[in-house]
Amino acid sequence: MGTIQRNMSLTGNASDTLNTLQKLGTVIGLGGLAIIVFSLFNNFQNKALWLFIALAAITAGVILYSKGLYANKPAGIKNHGVWFKSISSRGFWGWITGITLTGFYIILYFYEELLGANPNGNTGIVALFDPLSYFLSGNAASQWFVYGTLYTIAIFAFGIKFIWKYKHNKYEQLRTVSVMFFQTAFAFLIPELMSRLNNDSFSLPYNDLKNMWPLNYYAFDGWRVDQFINAETIGIAFLLFAILSIFVISPILTYKYGKRWYCSWVCGCGGLAETAGDSFRQLSDKSMFAWKVERWVIYSVLVFSVVMTTAVISTYLGYDSEKYWLTKDVFLIGVAVFLGILFAAIWYFKKEELAKDARYGAIGYLVIVLALIAIHYFTNTANNKIFLFEASKLRSVYGFLIGAIFSGVIGTGFYPIFGNRVWCRMGCPMAGILGIQQRLFSKFRITTNGGQCISCGNCSTYCEQGIDVRAYAQKGENIVRASCVGCGICSAVCPRGVLKLENGPLENRINPTDVLLGNDVDLMDLVNKK
């Protein structure tokens, strides 16, 4: 069976060789990348020009490649040869890409000086990006500006590829346009432009409006909150919007549309996963074991982030109590009361729906959270120690383990190994919260179409979240899962028209059945009566 030609293309036909447009795209795109790498060793004279050439070449390269790949193909599912190509089946190019990306993230997070980042004057790659940064925000570039720029370009260029690939599917196209917009405008341009407003007497922290706590784990760090408060009207407005997003806007949207409104339409992490990561969606692990791991890990991260954030906030409330209208004690009691009421409500309304282990998990974690807060509350914290460590220590451990290693190095660096949504599935605390709500209080579900499923497995294979969609579809059961980000690909790849993402009434949203539609009605009555 080893006679299939393996090639480098990200998708397309098994024995396709690259066509002219694809070759051209590859050369131009890699050329652009080469300019950026080259800037490490060479101090370009006209940085603005070279940067422009490099970024334009990368974008044009991806777009040309995609045009060559999809433009002349009939509309339809384009998964031919996905498992034959080494890049998309954990083969040689998959590993090379994974190692390269991982290496990039390690340098980005821990050795930024290698990229040329230097507060006293950038060199290398970071210096190459200085002109663009000055143009947008008026400041010198940082490694994060370099990253943000490349990130935005990746979502934009691969977004176009994705739109071409799914030219028959309006849902896929619209949500991709949406993530491209939110990344370019909200995550990149607006915050950069806003920092132009900063001066000696007025400053706002870099603020991506759509980036919500707890995904944005530093949202309520003391210095950020201080800056917002000091910036008066506009700062307070941002702060209020951030709080409103978490407690009002997000619950309402998630109730109406499921977590997809954020994860597949707005979020930057989701945006990268859906565009640049699209070629790797089939690599997610579908086993029951992976599902078990997923649930433990993601909710542990969520608990960690809640504890960490509570600790951090209570610390600055504690030693700066004059500055805020909220005192540390009130805050802590407030958190405990809020979580208590939330948990009691879930328990009261949804007890029957929670699987046994989910109940144990929920009780366990609630106890931990409450206990930690209680310990803290009853302990003298004169030395600023929260729990057993200082809050800042907890914050930096979180930032290192979750913010850098999990979401960056593993989450994105390992796209070609674990699939494109490993962070969203296993790690993101925001996805954790939205998921709990989606499972318990939302109108969203994936409907299955009576008895039409033939158990082929395309849906499960291409589910980036590792949901065994087929297990539900072949039983005629709606798919109501905390982890589903509503990307819609299961529905797109289904050859029998079985799956549809819908927002419908809560009644019968979860519909376990023993016998599918099509079989004798009496039998259904019998089984359902049982």
Partner 1 sequence: MEHIVIIGNGISGVTAARHIRKLSNKKITIISAETDYFFSRTALMYVYMGHMKFEHTQPYEPWFWKKNRIELKKGFVERVETASKTLHFSNKEQMNYDKLIIATGSKPNKFGWPGQDLKGVMGLYHKQDLERLEAYAPNNNICKRAVIVGGGLIGIELAEMLHSRHIPVTFLVREDSFWNGVLPNGESQMINEEIRKNGIDLRLGVNLKEIKADDNGCVKSVIIDETGEEINCNVVGLTAGVSPNIDFLKNSDIKLGRGVKVNRFLETNIADVYAIGDCAEQHEAIGNRRPIEAVWYTGRMMGETLAQTICGNRMAYNPGHWFNSAKFIDIEYQTYGWVHGAKGKPDYETQFHWMHKSGNKCVTIAYNKNNNEFLGINTFGIRMRHEVFDKWLTEKQSVNYVIDNLKLANFDPEFFKHFETDIRSAFYKNNTITQ
Residues that bind partner 1 (CB under 8 A): 1, 3-5, 13-16, 74-77, 79-85, 168-171, 174, 287-288, 447, 449-452, 454-458, 460-461, 470-471, 474, 488, 491-493, 495-497, 500-502, 514-523, 526
Whichever of 292 and 323 has its CB closer to partner 1, that residue is 292
> In whole angstroms, how close is the CB of 163 to partner 1 at the nearest point?
13
> In whole angstroms, how close is the CB of 520 to partner 1 at the nearest point?
4
Distance of alpha carbon 481 from alpha carbon 466, whole angstroms: 11
Residue 418 main-chain phi, psi, to 5 deg: -100, -5
Whichever of 59 and 458 has its CB closer to partner 1, that residue is 458
> In whole angstroms, how close is the CB of 505 to partner 1 at the nearest point?
15
Whichever of 376 and 421 has its CB closer to partner 1, that residue is 421
Q: Is 318 left (phi over 0), alpha (psi -120 to 50) or beta?
A: alpha
Residue 460 main-chain phi, psi, to 5 deg: -65, -45
Q: Would you say the C-alpha torsion 192, 174, 266, 64 has a positive or negative sign?
A: negative
Which residue in 400, 407, 401 sits closest to 421, CA to CA?
407
Tokens representing 60? 């044009």
Cross-strand pairs, 501: 446
> In whole angstroms, how close is the CB of 491 to partner 1 at the nearest point?
5
CB-based contact 105:143 (threshold 8 Å): no
Omega of the bond prior to 214 within 30 degrees of 0, cis?
Answer: yes
> In whole angstroms, how close is the CB of 290 to partner 1 at the nearest point?
11
Whichever of 399 and 451 has its CB closer to partner 1, that residue is 451
**Burial category of 139 from C-beta neighbours within 10 Å (exposed 0-12, middle 13-18, buried 19 and up):** middle
Distance of alpha carbon 31 from alpha carbon 13, whole angstroms: 25
> In whole angstroms, how close is the CB of 517 to partner 1 at the nearest point?
6
Residue appearing with tokens 């909200």: 186
Whichever of 375 and 523 has its CB closer to partner 1, that residue is 523
Tokens representing 331? 């805050």
Whichever of 276 and 446 has its CB closer to partner 1, that residue is 446
Distance of alpha carbon 387 from alpha carbon 393, whole angstroms: 11
Whichever of 85 and 395 has its CB closer to partner 1, that residue is 85
Distance of alpha carbon 523 from alpha carbon 19, whole angstroms: 56
Which residues have CB under 8 Å from 363's CB, separation 6+? Answer: none
The CA-based angle 460-416-213, given to 5 degrees, is: 80
Q: CA separation (Å) from 114 to 68, 111, 122, 292, 345?
A: 36, 6, 11, 39, 51
Omega of the bond prior to 495 within 30 degrees of 0, cis?
Answer: no
Q: At 390, which helix (H) or strand (E)?
A: strand 389-390
> In whole angstroms, how close is the CB of 84 to partner 1 at the nearest point?
4
> In whole angstroms, how close is the CB of 159 to partner 1 at the nearest point?
17
> In whole angstroms, how close is the CB of 146 to partner 1 at the nearest point?
36
Whichever of 282 and 412 has its CB closer to partner 1, that residue is 282
> In whole angstroms, how close is the CB of 277 to partner 1 at the nearest point?
18
